Structure 1
Amino acid sequence: MRSLILCLLLTLPAVCARAAFTIQPWPETADPLQLPPPLSWTGPVRAERPFELCALYPHLRDAYWLSVNQGMVEEASRLGVGLRVHEAGGYGASSEQARQLAACAREGSDAILLGAVDGPALAEAIGKSPLPVFGLVNALPPAHVVAQVGVPWYQMGWRIGHWLALRHPAGSPPVRVALLPGPEGRGGNSVVEPGFSAAIAGSAITLVDTLRGDNSREIQRSLVQQLLTRHPHLDYLVGGAMAAEVAVNELARRGDQGAGQGPAVLAIYFSHGVQRALLRGRLALANSDQMREQGRLAVAQAVCLLQRPDASEAQCPRHMGPAILTLSGPLAASGDTLSDPAFRPVYRLAPGAPPPRQ
């Protein structure tokens, strides 16, 4: 009630209204064919005290985590809480992220929002943390965290495979697909591949190659070039956002896409480059897990449970995220998925501060 009165006194109707979210509950066993319906959730209107949140990201060198960052900054500012951000430097930096977990407590934070580089490798460091830990984007075992925001990446792989299987059912002419899921065994990739494989089982699709590597433009370009050399008659190339971006550019450079000779490209997740490729008709399909909205939800969830640790699931959902969007054309409105074009990473936001001018 006090937060509602404060909101009314501040006469900020747009800010007050933003406490309402449409969420998708994501149970641990999220059956692709039997998902619970989306729900409306009213998050906190304003934090009851100026909490300090410590967010740990694998890195901030691509559009995905940059978009998560903007969503977190927006929601932290709306709620009046502080935000400190640390990036590990990549998906191989589990030791660095373990050190950052300890640093969050030394900095005086109230909670940690962990975008884990490697959940199993961080289990001991999470267990030693004196602060409540919330999972962010990359799933962690429920026993290790208070709650988490994200989507099942099994679903991200399954949706791409399902789209292909519907177009190439058993008995139709065979097609060849290659997969570039990103770093091996990191983030959601360990479940993207099983999800994709389950969806194409029994179809006319043959997975001819899978190449894994870090999400840097140089590494993904090298992997794309290897695939196109090894498989000159490939029908589809499925990859993460960075792989999809460089594949579209590489095919354009070779003149393959314009001649209709190269593989169609599908993106497992979204980026600004993926949106541009969809706008130009150079990408067949892409998933968006609405990462900017995930950033907002993560902050709202943490504040909700810091204020009400014993709240019911309806009051403060423990395992949620936005819906996954699977698109054959560009996003009509990208504000829940992509960071703004001028947005730059924000590493420190003081409690009660407005979002920094960019």
Structure 2
Amino acid sequence: MRSSHKPGAAFAVLGTLCLASAIVSAPAAAAEPVPAPWWPAKVIDAAKADKPVVDYVPLDKASKPWSVCVLFPHMKDSFWVAVAYGIVSEAQRQNIGMTLYEAGGYSNLPRQLSQFDDCRAAGADAVIVGAISEAGLAQKIAEARAAGVAVVGAVNPMAEAATNGKIFVDFPTMSAQTGRYLVDHLGAEGGKVVTFPGPAGSGWAEAYNDGFKQAVAGSAVTVLDEKFGDTGVAVQQQLVQDALQAYPDMTVVWGTAPTAEAAIGAAMEAGRDDVLIMSTYENQAMLDAMKRDEIAGFATQYPVLQGRIAVDMAVRALEGAEVMAFAQPVPEVVTRKTADAINLDLVLAPADWRPSYTVSAR
């Protein structure tokens, strides 16, 4: 497989992110070592017109053991495990209760709606939502807010829902960075791309795709086609294999991190040793692949940081403290050359950490 720094045609894969797998009962998280302070953290205060970059500092500790319920689309990959790590570690630091549900995938909106009801029935003080569909959850969110339950949107876009606070990256900006990286990296020779943005209707997949296409417009990098689909590795592998057959002149695959993971093997099996692979977002597989020089790099939106800030937003809302209405991580492209300058503790969970679905206040 072609190294990320060699000249010539490239077969690039860029990843986004997604979710899957139904919640199973799990024991309460055991007490874990408290991570080093993660603040101040640079974020964009996106609720302000000029969108300044500011230092985010959380509360010292919650004033009481609030109960927070968390809804994820899935926990299929290490991206969402990283968000979960951020949530669990901040819930432990602030000494609040937390229960996490995952819906098993982006096609399972009815399950996420039912899990939202479960949160309400259990008496959650706040709900943190990694939404499968903002439109699908809008009524549930409005009803919760009317009942005095705080709601925070995390990771996936929330454009209009009446949340107390929300944190997610500007997806067009993040994907545009990967597009500009490819334009610069491939130079005058350029490349021909089929994009694999993620599941249609998720909001973030379309935003990723649009940002990437805008970034490469007018360059030597051209888009042949776009293929939306669930971010399970098996689904993405089939999409990539189909594209390799349909577009023999394709030199760039751009899509989700599971796309990148699947494409490493698919390109090898197809005899495409001219392949250059990138991921549009981070997970452990992408970091490992980058270290092995199997991919050129990936963009990061700091998922651990997002999980921690989402918890702090929920506590602030419950305690009547000031809440940043809309925070955005500052995305960056991570390559072998830049990795040492990135705080990876805010990107991925520790390698030996296993997801905890519950946290009990001490």
Bin the TM-score by the shorter chain: 0.7 to 0.9
Identity of aligned residues (%): 28
Alignment check: 8 A CA contact 2:302 2:331 kept: yes
- Does the residue aligned with 1:177 lie in a helix, a strand or coil? strand
TM-score by length of 1: 0.84
- Does the residue aligned with 2:344 lie in a helix, a strand or coil? coil
Aligned AA for 1:68?
V
- Among 124, 130, 133, which residue is 2:139 paired with? 124
2:59 equivalent to 1:44: yes
Aligned AA for 1:112?
V
Distance in 1 (alpha carbons) for counterparts of 2:81 and 2:306: 12
1:201-212 maps to which residues of 2 (within 5 A)?
201-212=217-228
**Alignment CA distance shift 1:19-1:81 (3 Å):** farther
**Alignment CA distance shift 1:99-1:251 (3 Å):** same
Aligned AA for 2:360?
A
- Does the residue aligned with 2:152 lie in a helix, a strand or coil? strand
Post-superposition offset of 1:126: 1.5
2:240 equivalent to 1:224: yes
- Does the residue aligned with 2:309 lie in a helix, a strand or coil? helix
1:148 matched residue in structure 2: 166
Post-superposition offset of 1:187: 4.8
1:319 matched residue in structure 2: 326
Q: Cα deviations across residues 87-142 of structure 1 (Å, max 9, x unaligned)?
A: 11211121221122222121121100000001112112222222121101111134
Alignment check: 8 A CA contact 1:22 1:38 kept: no
Alignment check: 8 A CA contact 1:19 1:44 kept: no
**Alignment CA distance shift 1:301-1:147 (3 Å):** same
- Does the residue aligned with 2:40 lie in a helix, a strand or coil? strand
- Does the residue aligned with 1:242 lie in a helix, a strand or coil? helix
- Does the residue aligned with 1:335 lie in a helix, a strand or coil? helix
Q: Cα deviations across residues 148-191 of structure 1 (Å, max 9, x unaligned)?
A: 0111111222111122234567xx44531111111112151021
Alignment check: 8 A CA contact 2:138 2:161 kept: no
Q: Cα deviations across residues 29-59 of structure 1 (Å, max 9, x unaligned)?
A: 99xxxx8453222211111000111000001
Distance in 1 (alpha carbons) for counterparts of 2:196 and 2:44: 28
Aligned AA for 1:339?
A
**Alignment CA distance shift 1:139-1:29 (3 Å):** farther
Alignment check: 8 A CA contact 1:139 1:188 kept: yes
Alignment check: 8 A CA contact 2:183 2:190 kept: no
2:157 matched residue in structure 1: 139
1:243 matched residue in structure 2: 259
Distance in 1 (alpha carbons) for counterparts of 2:255 and 2:297: 11
Alignment check: 8 A CA contact 1:178 1:234 kept: yes
Alignment check: 8 A CA contact 2:47 2:325 kept: no
1:339 matched residue in structure 2: 349
Alignment check: 8 A CA contact 1:52 1:81 kept: yes
Q: Cα deviations across residues 281-324 of structure 1 (Å, max 9, x unaligned)?
A: 11123101111111111111211222125x2xxxx322114321
2:42 equivalent to 1:23: yes
2:15 matched residue in structure 1: none
**Alignment CA distance shift 1:42-1:164 (3 Å):** same
1:45-84 maps to which residues of 2 (within 5 A)?
45-84=60-99
The alignment's C-alpha RMSD in Å is 2.3
Distance in 2 (alpha carbons) for counterparts of 1:28 and 1:117: 23
Alignment check: 8 A CA contact 1:57 1:116 kept: yes
1:328 matched residue in structure 2: 335
**Alignment CA distance shift 1:126-1:164 (3 Å):** same
- Does the residue aligned with 1:305 lie in a helix, a strand or coil? helix
**Structure 1: runs of 5 or more not aligned:** 1-13, 353-358
- Does the residue aligned with 2:107 lie in a helix, a strand or coil? coil
2:266 equivalent to 1:266: no
Distance in 1 (alpha carbons) for counterparts of 2:157 and 2:191: 32
**Structure 2: runs of 5 or more not aligned:** 1-32
Alignment check: 8 A CA contact 2:142 2:161 kept: no
